[in-house]
Structure 1
């Protein structure tokens, strides 16, 4: 009788590493990585030359916006819905309190800013404020300044903001400077 010798079955795994590498490359190339949302802001640098950055801001030139831990938005201690922020910021910045602004359309209220160049928005938030609400408030403030600048660009240059040259855009930004002071209120227990 002949005896048969059985060979154990083997799998050729020599190309497995190549296949795994190709699959890895395929998934890396075809996968999209979601970008984090954030606020696109140019952070302030040092104090500009010939400017005193320690000067105090007059009370009427400061608009206080606060977000508390209950996710309520307050402007000057009055609770307001988020859709009122834009109109309140426009009224504040465009007030023309000193009547020396030839491009302002404000009502010249004694409680609002003297001039757009003097207006400062103070945005404070609690440590428990939700990030999405904070970004939404920032968006409303930004929309207000965009509207003011767009109106000024139309009035001065008869152009929309996207049609302005760099020099014209600088003039528009100087007419309505975007000055926001952000403060996080820390909780003490």
Structure 2
């Protein structure tokens, strides 16, 4: 009787493949950096005590630069309708640097400004009294796009940073990179902002259409 030949198994032992795949998965999970959205780094006011009535703050209308954004991403800037943000940062700079009715402290502030900022400072009695009174108000609608809101907010901050930077002889990008890590940089930061607070009011959005 002919002896049967042993046939080599045609199957591949895949028992260890699952272990290898599992180890590779763990490796990639451990070594991969996952970007996270940190949102907008704004400092929010403390929560209001419901038992304490809010303070009654009287603010003259001319000291508030109003920006409204409706659900169609159209803007109403100081009651002026527009469909883009062109020139908004320059308008805000002119508003913040206006000395329409300065007290002695703000006359001293004006005198301390470098010539480049003095040339931009106005004396319009219909605009803000002085930089310490100037407030930029942003109000949106529930339908306002996040992109336009961020664009407007960035332009407002850009206007302030350009003022701060010019006070210390830097450009806005250089000023933004300053930190509190060294005494010299901290001094530049504080000197740029001195007596010109970044006063931005962000109102709760309207629930439905309109401006």
Give the alignment's TM-score, normalised by structure 2: 0.71
Q: Distance in 2 between matches of 1:34 and 1:165?
A: 29
Partner of 1:78: 80
Q: Distance in 2 between matches of 1:79 and 1:37?
A: 33
Matched, 1:185 2:206: yes
Partner of 1:149: 164
Partner of 2:151: 136
Q: Distance in 1 between matches of 2:151 and 2:55?
A: 29
Moved more, 172-181 or 160-169: 160-169
Q: Distance in 2 between matches of 1:90 and 1:168?
A: 20
Structure 2 counterpart SS, 1:154: coil
Runs (5+) with no aligned partner, structure 1: none
Q: Distance in 2 between matches of 1:45 and 1:88?
A: 31
Structure 2 counterpart SS, 1:83: coil
Structure 1 counterpart SS, 2:140: strand
RMSD across aligned positions (CA): 3.0
- Say whether the 8 Å CA contact 2:73–2:145 is kept in structure 1: yes
CA offsets 1:18-46 (integer angstroms, 9 cap, x no match)? 21123213433565534437322222347
Show the 5 A alignment for 1:12-91.
Answer: 12-28=13-29, 31-36=32-37, 38-45=39-46, 53-80=55-82, 81-91=84-94
Residues matched between the structures, number: 180
CA offsets 1:29-82 (integer angstroms, 9 cap, x no match)? 5655344373222223479xxxx9532222111111011112112211212431
Q: Distance in 1 between matches of 2:125 and 2:200?
A: 21
Aligned counterpart in structure 2 of residue 99 of structure 1, from 93, 98, 102: 102
Structure 2 counterpart SS, 1:185: coil
Runs (5+) with no aligned partner, structure 2: 49-53, 111-117
- Say whether the 8 Å CA contact 2:168–2:191 is kept in structure 1: no
Structure 2 counterpart SS, 1:91: helix
